[in-house]
């Protein structure tokens, strides 16, 4: 009797596993058949019951991408990367979409996030290379004073067709997945979408691995693994790594109407001065002053001590650092909180990068300290 019960339980669990695999598999078949509308419809139905399923949400977003519904696709991938910040694939595909819509800075940030979550993620590295090539083409046009002449752009960023394994810890994941390539130029022009439809896609085959135990990444382990790997493997990521940062929706607090415009201006200048102090401390490689620019409540990735140590090596390490901030925009959330977006140009003897950053700053006496720091505007 007990044997029968165990068998029953085992068979039932296998069946649920198959049902799960079946949904994703069916969606992929629809994608392969280029029946994108049906795929979206089917995914929507499934997600109504199981809203958390990462694989189905991912495939749905791919279908949206293939249909040219870029904004919805961007939204879907964005939401996925918020909910599953340890997965590189949504970031990667987000980058492809951004690149297709010529939002190169955002594409770069997204790829940086993909690489941060998984430093050995080859597709993201290759896409980064392609993006850099695209940026180089643009820079050449500008230097040669030629405008809008890139009629036959050959740069392609690769869209990942599948989540490799949503449950596996990123550090142990092998970065391999089949990809589908979307020509940049073809996607930019809606009219050019037609010939693309006839092209065969190569959406990756999902490979569930029921024999492997599902490792749920712990919150502390993930950023550590990426942060340490970062320094050695990828010189292209932004120097200020914020591995845990997931683009959340920005706080919707509106500035208080009670504060007079003049007082606001004064406060804003204080905020800007603090931001400049922070950048200066960084440029002067003054680790103490740099670290003191962050509030006590700053959620340091991997814990304050580990973060400080990491910053110490990254800031004191290079022979020289030059950090410049530009396009600083301050919006006062309330009297003691401000949101700052800025463009950071970082130059050291090792690398140079331009990044858009968002800082949440909190007032502390006459200074404003960084409460949260994220890449992206």
Binding site for other proteins (CB under 8 A): 1, 3-4, 7-8, 11, 14-15, 17-19, 21-22, 25-26, 29, 108, 122-123, 125-126, 129-137, 139-146, 149-155, 175-178, 204-205, 207-211, 235-236, 349, 351-354
CB of 136 or CB of 263, closer to other proteins: 136
How far apart, in whole angstroms, are the C-alpha atoms of residue 53 and residue 228? 30
Q: By C-alpha distance, which of 355, 363, 357 is closest to 333?
A: 363
Residue 129: CB minimum distance to other proteins, A: 5
Whole-angstrom distance between the N-terminal and C-terminal Cα of the chain? 62
Residue 154: CB minimum distance to other proteins, A: 4
Q: Write the CB contacts of 328 (distance below 8 Å, at least 6 apart in sequence).
A: 272, 275, 340, 341, 342
Residue 109: CB minimum distance to other proteins, A: 12
Residue 349: CB minimum distance to other proteins, A: 8
Residue 152: CB minimum distance to other proteins, A: 5
CB of 19 or CB of 216, closer to other proteins: 19
Widest Cα–Cα separation across the chain = 83
Q: Write the CB contacts of 227 (distance below 8 Å, at least 6 apart in sequence).
A: 241, 243, 301, 302, 310
Residue 209: CB minimum distance to other proteins, A: 7
CB of 176 or CB of 192, closer to other proteins: 176
CB of 144 or CB of 297, closer to other proteins: 144
How far apart, in whole angstroms, are the C-alpha atoms of residue 111 and residue 98? 10
Phi-psi map region of 365: left, alpha, beta (phi>0 left; psi -120 to 50 alpha):
left
CB of 62 or CB of 76, closer to other proteins: 62
Q: Write the CB contacts of 142 (distance below 8 Å, at least 6 apart in sequence).
A: none
CB of 205 or CB of 263, closer to other proteins: 205
Helices 2-32 and 54-66 meet at what angle, rounded to 10? 10
C-alpha distances (whole Å) from 115 to each of 17, 110, 231, 344 are 30, 9, 12, 19
Residue 21: CB minimum distance to other proteins, A: 5
Residue 273: CB minimum distance to other proteins, A: 28
How far apart, in whole angstroms, are the C-alpha atoms of residue 178 and residue 202? 7
Cβ atoms of 11 and 44 within 8 Å: the answer is no
Residue 250: CB minimum distance to other proteins, A: 26
How far apart, in whole angstroms, are the C-alpha atoms of residue 260 and residue 220? 43
Cβ atoms of 103 and 85 within 8 Å: the answer is no
Residue 144: CB minimum distance to other proteins, A: 5
């Amino acid at each position: 009797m007990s044997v029968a019960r165990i068998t029953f339980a085992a068979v039932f669990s296998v069946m649920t596993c198959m049902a799960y695999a079946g949904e994703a598999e069916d969606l992929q078949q629809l994608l392969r058949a280029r029946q994108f509308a049906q795929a979206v419809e089917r995914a929507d139905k499934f997600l109504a019951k199981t809203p958390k399923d990462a694989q189905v949400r991912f495939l749905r977003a791919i279908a949206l991408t293939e249909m040219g519904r870029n904004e919805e696709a961007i939204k879907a991938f964005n939401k996925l990367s918020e909910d599953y910040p340890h997965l590189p694939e949504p970031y990667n595909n987000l980058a492809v979409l951004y690149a297709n819509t010529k939002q190169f800075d955002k594409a770069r940030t997204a790829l940086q996030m993909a690489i941060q979550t998984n430093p050995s993620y080859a597709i993201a590295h290759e896409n980064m290379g392609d993006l850099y090539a695209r940026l180089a083409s643009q820079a050449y046009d500008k230097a040669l004073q030629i405008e809008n002449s890139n009629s036959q752009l050959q740069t392609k960023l690769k869209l990942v067709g599948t989540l490799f394994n949503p449950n596996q810890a990123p550090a142990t994941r092998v970065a391999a997945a089949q990809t589908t390539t979307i020509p940049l130029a073809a996607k930019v022009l809606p009219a050019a979408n037609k010939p693309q439809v006839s092209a065969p896609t190569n959406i990756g085959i999902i490979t569930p691995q029921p024999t492997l135990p599902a490792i749920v990444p712990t919150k502390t382990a993930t950023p550590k693994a990426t942060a340490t790997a970062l320094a050695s493997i990828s010189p292209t990521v932004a120097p200020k790594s914020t591995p845990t940062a997931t683009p959340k929706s920005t706080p919707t607090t509106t500035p208080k109407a009670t504060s007079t415009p003049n007082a606001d201006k004064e406060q804003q200048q204080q905020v800007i001065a603090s931001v400049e102090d922070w950048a200066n401390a960084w440029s002067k490689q003054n680790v103490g002053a740099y670290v003191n620019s962050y509030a006590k409540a700053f959620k340091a990735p991997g814990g304050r001590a580990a973060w400080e140590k990491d910053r110490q090596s990254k800031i004191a390490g290079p022979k020289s650092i030059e950090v410049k901030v530009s396009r600083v925009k301050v919006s006062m959330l309330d009297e003691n909180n401000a949101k700052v977006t800025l463009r950071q140009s970082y130059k050291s003897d090792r690398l140079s990068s331009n990044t858009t950053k968002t800082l949440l700053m909190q007032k502390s006496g006459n200074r404003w300290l960084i409460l949260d720091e994220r890449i992206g505007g």
